[in-house]
Each structure stands twice: as structure tokens, then as C-alpha cells.
């Protein structure tokens, strides 16, 4: 667990608070459950960093990025213009002949890829982890894989991109995770095929061939070479159960646990039946639940419409909206995994960079109200959201995120257990006066003007 020094400015001055904040046999069917006995880290310890982090970066990048949503003069449609599609699905959605799509390996050459810039942008935005598509549904491996030629090793790029990223992430204090499409694989024999357009699915025997020849060895390679902190496997819908049986789910979990006891695994390894041995759940894409999911969880979310780079996708979300979504999930004990679709040359699109930096500005001032906070068991206030941090002495810091600055210039949080002993604007430490109304409820006197034109955070000390 990280130790972090957080400075909170109180009316009385500064108070520094230290917040504690040999390859497994692929057919390892003889081990009961999914957690090998040799592994002495508890599931709670393993997932602690993820729960503290709250904010991460998703990255969809691969051969499809070269096409940027367009094939043979045809553009993938956008929301409001017929059915809207994601650019990483272009091979299937625009029916690109396999041979022509796969020939993109000859031109994939991200000469401007700068791992430090990626990890630095993530850290600068206040993100604590980053998850890159090591292999998406098209089956292309973003590293030099020993079990396929459909990989980085067959491109003109002679660098170890994942290795560079792993090092940069370490330098910037950002955890590295890999998205790995273990179910859909449109290239390798036996991989599951898409439902849109509906294609013939492999038999169980054919899928097993793919599973043994590609999926399990590649997951092993990723762990052995890059030691990721988390895996992001992907399934959806009930039809995945045809291939991702609970036996295969458990076999893959066992493989990861045996090789890397600290590595996290997500519920979409088997979305229809994640079981109890996964570390965190994912809400639906761009779904922001109204309740805590009861286990560590996150929402994967786009910054535009598409996940991968689409040159005619102008649906950029505003910074205010994204900060609001981060705060919303945080207030419910969940994480926000915000996606960037890098350009084929390896740079981040300029609109994404600007947004990341603006979010980073807000996070620089308010991160204390995000990391390692927990939900508050009170009804959601009409003006915003709440989180809290319990202190060692039993007192609490309560963070009020004010989206809509109250016109009556008072912040009232009914039914708080305990007394508000101090209040301040988090960013500046500007003290605020605590008063009691005629019904005996404490409230905070607010200035006329919201201190932040995005989301103002007021911190209350409660004893």
C-alpha cells in the first residue's frame, strides 16, 4: 500500500496528515478453487491499490488505429447518423477482407510513440493506472509474440512498445494493465467470432485449440515479460458462455494467480458469471450506476464516442462532464477508467491531451477528495455528491463536491452523525463559517461565488 502525504489547509493552518493511503501447466485442473496455496497475499490486500486509485486511463490502440474509422472511402457512422460504431470494429463492421485488414501489419509503425509522454499524461491527469489493449478482438498482438506472426514483430516497428511503456509507468508511479481479448479473436483458428455481423462460431474443440495455442501462452508471455498489475479481459452477453465456460474462466484465473499473485483480474473474464475469485467488476461501457456495486468496481468510459481513434468522431465530452462522472463514481466507491484512442503514429490526439490536462488541473487541487475515500451513507444531496475519509482518531473528513452552487449561500447536509467542527474550501484552505439553524441543523455559510467554476470541493471536519 502506498504511503501518501496529504496536506490539508485548515483555518488554523497546515496540518499534515499521513494517510496509509515455470509457467503454470495450462491444464492445471488439479488445483481446487482458483487461488494457489503458495500465494499468501489476500484478495483484499491485492485490490487495495485499485480501490485507492479511483481514476485510470484506458487505451485502445492497434492496427485499426491506422484506418481511423475509414475503409475504401467509407466512413464508420457516428451517433445520430444511423447505427454508430466503434473504430476498433472496422474490420467486421465495414467487412474489410481479412487479407487486406491483416496486411496493415506491414504499415504499423508508430514512430512518434513516446512511452514517457503516455505515462506522464496519465499521471498528470491524476490517473493512477493505465490499461492498454495488448490484443483486441482483431487478434493482433502489440508485442513480439512467440506463438503468432500476427504481432508487432512482423511490423516495421522494431521496438518493444509494451516494455517501454512498462518502464515509463514505473518511472511515473502509474500501474500498468493489459486489455487482452481472450474470447473474441478474429484471426487465429478457433477464436470466437463476432455477433455483428453474425459469423459462424467455432466448436468447443476448435475453441480449445485456440485457447491452448494462443490465449494461455500469450497471457503467460505478457506476465513473464511485462509483469502487469492487472488484466482486463473482455466478454459480453450470454453467448460468451458457449466458449468461456466456468472451467476456462477458472483455468485462466489460476494461470494468472500462479504466475503473478498480485495481478488483478476483472469480472468481464466471464461477464455472465464472474464468480467470486475476480478482483473487480466492470459496469457496462459508459454506464454510471446509481448504487455501489458492493465489490471493487469501475466504469470503462469513452472520451469521444469511439474507443479507438476515429478521425471523424467529434463527440468529445466536456471536461466538466468527465470530472462529474469521476466524482459520481468515487462517491459510490467505484473507479473511472477514461479512454484515449491514440493516433497510428503513437501520439495522443490534441483534444484528448487538452482535456487530460484540464482534468489534471482540477485533480491537482482536489485529489485529496478522490483517492482513498469512501462512500457516505446519506441520501445524495441535490447540489452534488459526498465522500469521506475516516481518521485514525475516529474523526472524519467529509468532502462535499458542489456541482450546483446553492443560491441561498448555505450548504446543509442533514443527518450527519457528529459535529462539524471546521469547514474550508479544499483548494485554498479558505475557512468557512459553520452555523446552526433554528431547527438545530448545522450548515456552512458559503460565499456568493462558487470558488471553482467546475466542481467546488468543501471539506468538513466532523467529530
Near ligand FHN by CB under 6 A: residue from 50, 75, 85, 86: 86
- The grid cell for 276 is 467470486
Binding-site residue total for ligand FHN (CB under 6 A)?
8
Q: Which residue is nearest to ligand FHN, using beta carbons?
A: 300
| Site for ligand FHN contains 236 (CB under 6 A) | yes
Q: Which of residues 295-334 bind ligand FHN (CB under 6 A)?
A: 300, 307
Name which of 89 and 210 has its Cβ closer to ligand FHN. Answer: 89
Binding to ligand FHN by CB under 6 A, coded x per residue (else -) over 27-66, reads ----------------------------------------
Residue 64 C-beta: closest distance to ligand FHN, Å:
9
Of 83-91, 120-128, 436-444, 445-453, the segment contacting ligand FHN by CB under 6 A is 83-91
Name which of 66 and 234 has its Cβ closer to ligand FHN. Answer: 234
Q: Which phi and psi (to 5°) does residue 180 adopt? A: -135, 120
- Nearest-angstrom CA–CA distance, 353 and 121: 7
DSSP string, 118-178: HHHHHHHTT--EEEEEEE-TT--BSS--TT-SSBGGGSS--S-HHHHHHHHHHHHT-EEEE
| Site for ligand FHN contains 138 (CB under 6 A) | no
Name which of 69 and 300 has its Cβ closer to ligand FHN. Answer: 300
- Nearest-angstrom CA–CA distance, 448 and 435: 17
- Nearest-angstrom CA–CA distance, 317 and 314: 9
| Tally of CA atoms within 13 A in the half-sphere of 93 that contains its CB | 19
Name which of 240 and 462 has its Cβ closer to ligand FHN. Answer: 240
Residues in CB range of 76: below 8 A, 6 or more apart: 69, 70, 85, 86, 87, 89, 90, 93, 94, 306, 310
C-beta neighbour count of 351 within 10 angstroms: 12
Location of C-alpha cell 467488476: 281
Name which of 236 and 288 has its Cβ closer to ligand FHN. Answer: 236
Nearest to 90 by CA among 109, 116, 64, 114: 64
Q: Which of residues 386-445 bind ligand FHN (CB under 6 A)?
A: none
DSSP string, 318-344: PHHHHHHHHHHHHHTTEEEEEEE---T
| Site for ligand FHN contains 234 (CB under 6 A) | yes
Name which of 211 and 307 has its Cβ closer to ligand FHN. Answer: 307
Of 84-92, 243-251, 289-297, 324-332, the segment contacting ligand FHN by CB under 6 A is 84-92
Strands (E), 55-126: 55-59, 70-71, 74-75
Residue 346 C-beta: closest distance to ligand FHN, Å:
19
Of 67-75, 82-90, 249-257, 455-463, the segment contacting ligand FHN by CB under 6 A is 82-90
Residue 117 C-beta: closest distance to ligand FHN, Å:
23
Residue 40 C-beta: closest distance to ligand FHN, Å:
32
| Site for ligand FHN contains 285 (CB under 6 A) | yes
- Nearest-angstrom CA–CA distance, 462 and 243: 52
Q: Which residues bind ligand FHN (CB under 6 A)?
A: 86, 88-89, 234, 236, 285, 300, 307
Amino acid at each position: 500500500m502506498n504511503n501518501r502525504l496529504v496536506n490539508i489547509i485548515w483555518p488554523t493552518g497546515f496540518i499534515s496528515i499521513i494517510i496509509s493511503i515455470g509457467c503454470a501447466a495450462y491444464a492445471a485442473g488439479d488445483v481446487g478453487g482458483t487461488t494457489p496455496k503458495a500465494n499468501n497475499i489476500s484478495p483484499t490486500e491485492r485490490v487495495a491499490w485499485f480501490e485507492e486509485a479511483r481514476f485510470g486511463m484506458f487505451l485502445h490502440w492497434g492496427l485499426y488505429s491506422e484506418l481511423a474509422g475509414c475503409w475504401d472511402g467509407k466512413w464508420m457512422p457516428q451517433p445520430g447518423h444511423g447505427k454508430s460504431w466503434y473504430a476498433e470494429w472496422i474490420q467486421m463492421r465495414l467487412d474489410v477482407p481479412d487479407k487486406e485488414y491483416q496486411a496493415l501489419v506491414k504499415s504499423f509503425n508508430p514512430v512518434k510513440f513516446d512511452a514517457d509522454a503516455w505515462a506522464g499524461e496519465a499521471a498528470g491527469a491524476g490517473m493512477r493506472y493505465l490499461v492498454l489493449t495488448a490484443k483486441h478482438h482483431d487478434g493482433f498482438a502489440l508485442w513480439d509474440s512467440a506463438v503468432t506472426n500476427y504481432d508487432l514483430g512482423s511490423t516495421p516497428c522494431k521496438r518493444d512498445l509494451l516494455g517501454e511503456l512498462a518502464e515509463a509507468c514505473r518511472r511515473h508511479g502509474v500501474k500498468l494493465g493489459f486489455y487482452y481479448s481472450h474470447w473474441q479473436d478474429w484471426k487465429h483458428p478457433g477464436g470466437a467470432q463476432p455477433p455483428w455481423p453474425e459469423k459462424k462460431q467455432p466448436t468447443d474443440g476448435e475453441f480449445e485449440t485456440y485457447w491452448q495455442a494462443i490465449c494461455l501462452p500469450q497471457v503467460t508471455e505478457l506476465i513473464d515479460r511485462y509483469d502487469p498489475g492487472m488484466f482486463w479481459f473482455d466478454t459480453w452477453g450470454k453467448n460468451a458462455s458457449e466458449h468461456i465456460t466456468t472451467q476456462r474462466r477458472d483455468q485462466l484465473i489460476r494461470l494468472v494467480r500462479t504466475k503473478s499473485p498480485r495481478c488483478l483480474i476483472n469480472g468481464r473474464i466471464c461477464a455472465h458469471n464472474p464468480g467470486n475469485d475476480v478482483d473487480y467488476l466492470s459496469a457496462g461501457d459508459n454506464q454510471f450506476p446509481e448504487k455501489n456495486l458492493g465489490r471493487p468496481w469501475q466504469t470503462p468510459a469513452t472520451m469521444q464516442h469511439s474507443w479507438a481513434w476515429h478521425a471523424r468522431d467529434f463527440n468529445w465530452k466536456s471536461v466538466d462532464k468527465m470530472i462529474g462522472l469521476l466524482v459520481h463514481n468515487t462517491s459510490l466507491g467505484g473507479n473511472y477508467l477514461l479512454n484515449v484512442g491514440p493516433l497510428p503514429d503513437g501520439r495522443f490526439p490534441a483534444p484528448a491531451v487538452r482535456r487530460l490536462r484540464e482534468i489534471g488541473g482540477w485533480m491537482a487541487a482536489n485529489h485529496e477528495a478522490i483517492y482513498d475515500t469512501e462512500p457516505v451513507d446519506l441520501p445524495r444531496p441535490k447540489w452534488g455528491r459526498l465522500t469521506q475519509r475516516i481518521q485514525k482518531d475516529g474523526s472524519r473528513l467529509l468532502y462535499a463536491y458542489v456541482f450546483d452552487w446553492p443560491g441561498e449561500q448555505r450548504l446543509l447536509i442533514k443527518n450527519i452523525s457528529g459535529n462539524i467542527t471546521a469547514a474550508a474550501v479544499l483548494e485554498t484552505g479558505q475557512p468557512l463559517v459553520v452555523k446552526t439553524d433554528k431547527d438545530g441543523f448545522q450548515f456552512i455559510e458559503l460565499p456568493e461565488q462558487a470558488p471553482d467554476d467546475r466542481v467546488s470541493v468543501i471539506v468538513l471536519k466532523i467529530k
